[in-house]
Amino acid sequence: MYEFSEIGWLKHVIFHPVEGFEDLRWKKRGSLKFSVVIIFMLFFSMLAEYRLQGFQYNTHYTKIFNVVPLILRSVIFYITWCVGNWSICTLFDGEGTFKNICIYTSYALVPFIVFSFVSTFLSNILILDEAVWIEFFNWLGFGWSLILMVQAMRAVHQYSFGKTLVSMLATVGAMFILLFLLVLVLLLFQQVYNFIYTVYMEIQYRIMG
Amino acid sequence: MKIKALISVVFAVVFIFSSSVNAFASEPYNPYSYDKWGDPIPSQSGYKVDRVVDGKQMGFDEFCDPKSKLFISLEESDSLNGAKDMFYLKGLEQLWIADSGNNRIICLDTKTNKVIGVYHSDGILNFSSPNGVFAKYDSENDITHLYVADYNNSRVCKCEVMDYKTLKSIKNYTKPNSELYNSKVFNPEKVLVDGADNVYTVVGSVTTGACVFSSDGEFMGFYGANRVEPSFKVVAQKFWRKIATQKALDTMQRSVPVEYKNFDIDKDGFIYTVTEAANTSTDAVKKVNAAGNNIWDNVYINRVTFGDYNQSSMDISSNVKLSTKLTDIDISDDQYINLLDYQTGRVFQYNQDCELIFIFGAKSESSNQKGSFKAPNALESVDEDIYILDGAKNDITIYTKTVFGKYVHSAVKLYEDGKYTESAEIWQEVVKRDGGYNLAYVGLGKACVYNGEYKQAMKYFKISQSRKNYDKAYEYYREQWLSEHFGIISAAIIILILLLILNAVIKNLGINLKGSIVRFFKNHKKS
């Protein structure tokens, strides 16, 4: 039983939100390569929404294109989520390894990515009066992924339902702290760089006269 | 020696000619416009300086010339002095100027820009710093009534114009004896009169709106007050007011709206107000109906920023921070709304949908470049031209439309009348001259929609970034596409259904089609 290929396992967890992740864990399956691909697809779905959305729906400032916010919203948020979740849950008896957290999180994101592509495609066909369809697909993808995410976190750490929710909220808090620290570290390094550069300039002036 | 001189002469001549070729009459301002994102983009100038007239050119020296019929006295000033307001009387082609610093009212003939009347303190009607002027021509009785906001005398005078020098006082509108009017002073700044001869006057530092008097001088109330801008301070105050005691309430400052500075009435009787206070976003410009309500008070129009988008900008030449101060408003005959920004000396022209048409004019403190202003106090549209009164340079600048301006105006006119096809040709001319003129693409797109060229319309709407129009054009385009390809689409659907049925039938019959094909090939290979 449950002898699937990797893509079969992905299908299985998406269409079996109640038991899928438990099965995945029990069989010790899930591929890190796949999750990397999924996160890239997440980035591309955001990119597609930014650039390929139908003109009547696209309210982005399209005069300039900046890829950094998109990377932040996809890859950086994903990594901070994984790191935050791992650091919270290792303290609270979570059984998930960092690798498993990364894999399960990305698997849970698949419906969101797929429906994001779907609504981007539909926005090229539908007029503004029919925006309810796009909204419907967006919410469908979001809701589905949310349910999967709760299940994934529950399965990976072997938590009760309530504990999962609390740990997820705590993870969001941890993400904020992580990002704050990241910004702080960046600023500090900038200061250090500035200091070193100033010293270098000073020395240069002295030597050069 | 002779050759040397000859060469130098040749060089000099060449130099002179080449420089005179290069020197072209440029406008004193950099024409620009705003795109849909609110970013300034360079544009073509819609108005150019036609001429600048000062007191001498208007013939003010007649005031000191004993031989002239306009002679007043030998000491009379022969220039304007801090003039504050202008009014154009359409039927008679007269421009009335409130020459505040000289305490007189001047009447110009706009065809010749020569003075045809001067109304000075004559013992009976002593104007003291008249700040506002309004005239009304009664064609039945052939009488011109002049209304003057006499600032220092705390009154609005209604006079009958007898001839080029004399006025007959008819009525004075003075400080209202009403409980509603709780200001200590009454300093009327601007005045206008509606169709029923009601007198509206903007009174300095009265924030409750313009004072309205009936034609027989009775105070009727206030008109069209601004709302309080919901700043953080105001919201916080509202909260504290809820919980404060009566004693604390008494000491609290009341949050009052800023008063509007100026107004104008259009031919349909709507009154447009403009607020001068810097950086106002609430009720900066209003269109007020007879009941005193702002008819632009809806979500769409309130999103329009009048004047510059970036409301405080640095002026590079003088290194001063400029913040928008809209000081005067004027509605032209074609219903364009002209706003005058005192700080930057720019005139912003909008159509009735509050779409920006042109920005022109400039301010310069240092240079006296023709067409730039030092203290632009008033603007008035005189037929096709726009007159701008400068209170520091004491002259009137007359801006007239360029070819581009004429094209845009005629296209807008046709466009607003719904003649999209006719307007499209002119919009094409506009686009030839300024490829960034947004409204042109909207007009072209609408013409295309009107003619059923939806694909092209979508292209134009995409350029002009108008999402709503694009959506409409796309809806029609999709409908057209579907009806054109109805045959293919329906055929595809029928074939798909047939295939599904076939698949189901084959499955029901228990035939494994794929398996049997594979088997067939295997057997074939073997044999």
Q: Read off the pLDDT of residues B389-415 as tens digits, 9 standing for 90 and up.
A: 998 888 999 999 999 999 999 999 998
Instruction: With a cut of 60, say whether residue B497 has pLDDT above it.
Output: yes
Residues in B closer than 8 angstroms to A131, CB to CB, are: none
Which of B471, B475, B476, B482 best probes binding to A when mutated, by most A CB atoms within 10 angstroms? B471
Do B46 and B404 form a contact (C-beta atoms < 8 A)? yes
Question: Is A151 part of a structural domain of the chain?
Answer: yes
What is the token pair recorded at B478?
Answer: 């999709």
| Res B226: pLDDT | 85
Distance CA B497, CA B50 (A): 74
Tell which phi-psi region holds residue B396, choosing left (phi > 0), alpha (psi between -120 and 50) or beta: beta
Q: What is the DSSP secondary-structure string of B452-480? A: T-HHHHHHHHHHTT-HHHHHHHHHHHHHH
- What is the predicted pLDDT for the residue at B182? 84
Contact B467 A125 (CB under 8 A): no
Chain A, nearest residue to B470 by Cα: A56
Question: What is the C-alpha to C-alpha distance for residues B375 and B327, in angstroms, rounded to an integer?
Answer: 11
Does A124 contact B at CB distance below 8 Å? no
**Is residue B316's pLDDT more than 70?**
no
pLDDT at B20 over 50: no
pLDDT at B371: 81
Q: Is A198 on the interface with B (CB under 8 A)?
A: no
The Cα of A119 is separated from the nearest Cα of chain B by a number of Å equal to 17
CA distance A122 to chain B (A): 13
The arithmetic mean of pLDDT across residues B135-155, rounded, is 89
Q: Give the nearest chain A residue to B468 (CA atoms).
A: A56
pLDDT digits (tens, 9 = 90+) for B249-303: 888 777 788 888 899 999 888 999 998 876 677 788 888 988 888 888 755 555 6
Could A56 and B470 be called an inter-chain contact, meaning their C-beta atoms sit closer than 8 Å?
A: yes
* Cα separation, B367 vs B364, whole angstroms: 6
Q: Flag whether pLDDT at B507 surpasses 60.
A: yes
Taking only residues 20 to 39 of chain B, the set having a beta carbon closer than 8 angstroms to any beta carbon of chain A reads 37, 39
- pLDDT at residue B24, rounded to an integer: 44
Q: Residue B481: which pLDDT band, with cuts at 50, 70 and 90?
A: very high
How far is B232 from B336, CA to CA, in rounded Å? 35
When CB atoms are compared, the residue of A56, A59, A125 closest to B471 is A56
Q: How confident is the model at residue B354 (pLDDT cuts 50, 70, 90)?
A: confident
Q: How confident is the model at residue B315 (pLDDT cuts 50, 70, 90)?
A: low
Q: Which three-class secondary structure string do you get for chain A? A: CCCCCHHHHHHHHHHCCCCHHHHHHHCCCCCHHHHHHHHHHHHHHHHHHHHCCCCCCCCCCCCCCCCHHHHHHHHHHHHHHHHHHHHHHHHCCCCCCHHHHHHHHHHHHHHHHHHHHHHHHHCCCCCHHHHHHHHHHHHHHHHHHHHHHHHHHHHHHCCCHHHHHHHHHHHHHHHHHHHHHHHHHHHHHHHHHHHHHHHHHHHHHHHHC
- Inspect the interface and report whether the beta carbons of B478 and A59 lie closer than 8 Å: no
Residue B299 has a pLDDT of 54
DSSP for B418-457, written as a single string: T-HHHHHHHHHHHHHH-TT-HHHHHHHHHHHHHTT-HHHH
Report pLDDT for B9: 61
* CB-CB neighbors (< 8 A) of A125 in chain B: 478
Q: Closest chain A residue to B475 measured between Cα atoms?
A: A127
Determine contact: B479 vs chain A, CB below 8 A: no
Q: Do B474 and A59 touch (CB under 8 A)?
A: no
Confidence check: pLDDT of B7 > 70: no
Cβ of A55 within 8 Å of Cβ of B467? The answer is yes
Alpha-carbon gap: A64 to the closest alpha carbon of chain B (Å):
11
B12-26, B197-211, B390-404: which has the minimum mean pLDDT?
Answer: B12-26
ipTM of the complex: 0.82
* CB contact A63 to B (< 8 Å): yes
Between B458, B462, B471, which is nearest A128 by CB? B471
Whether residue A1 lies inside any domain: the answer is: no
Q: Is residue A186 part of a domain?
A: no
CB proximity B468 to A under 8 Å: yes
The closest of B111, B112, B153 to B132, measured between CA atoms, is B153
CB nearest A127 (choices: B39, B462, B474): B474
pLDDT at A101: 94
Distance in Å from the first CA to the final CA of chain B: 115
Strand partners, B350: B337, B356
Q: Please check whether residue A128 touches B, CB under 8 A.
A: yes
In this complex, the residue of A63, A125, A127 whose CB is nearest that of residue B471 is: A127
> Measured between CB atoms, which of B37, B470, B475 is closest to A61?
B37
Q: Does A55 contact B at CB distance below 8 Å?
A: yes
Look at A63 and B462 and tell me if their CB atoms are within 8 Å. Answer: no
pLDDT, residue B401, reads 93
Which residues from B are below 8 Å from A64, CB to CB? none
Give the C-alpha separation, A148 to A90, whole Å.
Answer: 21
B265, β-bridge pairs: B271
What pLDDT is stored for residue B22 in this prediction?
Answer: 42
- Chain A hits for B458, CB-CB cut-off 8 Å, are 55
Which amino acid, one-letter code, is at B368?
Answer: N
**Residue numbers of the domain that contains A46:** 6-173
Interface contact flag, B467 A56, Cβ < 8 Å: yes
Per CB-CB distance under 8 Å, the chain B contacts of A61 are: 37
Which position has the higher pLDDT, B35 or B7? B35
Bridge partners (DSSP) of residue B387 are B380, B398
Where does the pLDDT of residue B76 fall: very low under 50, low under 70, confident under 90, or very high at 90 and above? confident
Residues of A in contact with B478 (CB under 8 A): 125, 127
Chain A residue with CA closest to B472: the answer is: A127
* Ranges of each domain in chain B: 54-406, 413-484, 486-526
Q: What is the distance between the alpha carbons of residues B388 and B267, in angstroms, rounded to a whole number?
A: 21
| Band of residue B23 on the pLDDT scale cut at 50, 70, 90 | very low
Q: Closest to A63 (Cβ–Cβ): which among B37, B458, B475? A: B37
- Which chain B residues are Cβ-neighbours of A129 within 8 angstroms? 475
**What's the confidence (pLDDT) of residue B358?**
92
Q: Is A56 on the interface with B (CB under 8 A)?
A: yes
Span B334-344, pLDDT tens digits: 899 999 998 88
Q: Letter for the amino acid at B429?
A: E
Q: Does B303 touch chain A (CB under 8 A)?
A: no
Q: Are residues A127 and B478, on separate chains, in Cβ contact within 8 Å?
A: yes
Yes or no: say if B255 and B231 are a contact pair by the CB < 8 Å rule: no
What span, in angstroms and rounded, lies between the C-alpha atoms of B329 and B337? Answer: 7
Question: How large is the average pLDDT for residues A10-26?
Answer: 89
Bigger pLDDT: B246 vs B350? B350
| C-beta atoms of A56 and B39 within 8 A | no
Tokens coding B491: 């055929």
Cβ-proximal residues to A207 (8 Å cutoff; 6+ apart), any chain: none
Per-residue pLDDT tens digits for B483-495:
999 999 999 999 9
pLDDT at residue B14 greater than cutoff 60: no
Report how many domains make up chain A.
Answer: 1
Maximum mean pLDDT: which of A9-18, A134-143, B30-39, B45-54: A134-143
Q: Tens of pLDDT along B81-124?
A: 889 999 999 888 899 999 988 888 999 998 888 888 888 866 66
**B-chain residues near A59 (CB < 8 A):** 467
Q: What is the mean pLDDT of chain A?
A: 92
Is residue A88, in this structure, part of any structural domain at all?
A: yes
Question: What pLDDT is recorded for position B188?
Answer: 92
Q: Would you say residue A203 lies in a domain?
A: no
The pLDDT confidence band at residue A162, using thresholds 50, 70 and 90, is: very high
Does the residue A188 lie in any domain? no
Q: How many CB pairs under 8 A join A and B?
A: 22
Question: What's the CA angle centered on B371, arms B367 and B375, to 5 degrees?
Answer: 70
Q: Is the pLDDT of residue B11 over 70?
A: no
Residues facing residue B386 across a β-bridge: B381, B399
- C-beta atoms of A127 and B475 within 8 A: yes
pLDDT band at residue B470 using 50, 70 and 90 as cut-offs: very high
As a CATH number, domain B413-484 is 1.25.40.10
Q: Best of B458, B472, B475 to disrupt the A interface by mutation (most A CBs within 10 Å)?
A: B475
B198 has a pLDDT exceeding 80:
yes
* pLDDT at res. B499: 93
Residue B491's identity, in one-letter code, is A
| Amino acid identity for residue B111 in this structure | K
On average, the pLDDT of chain B sits at: 85
- A150 Cα to chain B: minimum distance (Å): 38
Q: Does B467 touch chain A (CB under 8 A)?
A: yes
Q: What digits encode the pLDDT tens for the residues A174-206?
A: 999 999 999 999 999 999 999 999 999 999 999
- Alpha-carbon gap: B278 to the closest alpha carbon of chain A (Å): 28
Residues in chain A closer than 8 A to B467 (CB atoms): 55-56, 59, 128
A64 touching chain B per CB within 8 A: no
* Alpha carbons B416 and B422: distance in angstroms, whole number: 11
The predicted-structure confidence for A127-145, as pLDDT tens digits, reads as follows 999 999 999 999 999 999 9
Is the pLDDT assigned to residue B21 strictly greater than 50? no
CA distance A127 to chain B (A): 6
Q: What is the pLDDT of residues A73-91, one digit of tens each?
A: 999 999 999 999 999 999 9
Q: B445 to chain A: which residues are within 8 Å by CB?
A: none
First CA to last CA distance, chain A: 81
**Average of per-residue pLDDT across A17-37:** 89
CATH class given for the domain over B54-406? mainly beta
DSSP state of B306: P
In chain A, whose CA is at the least distance from the CA of B37? A61
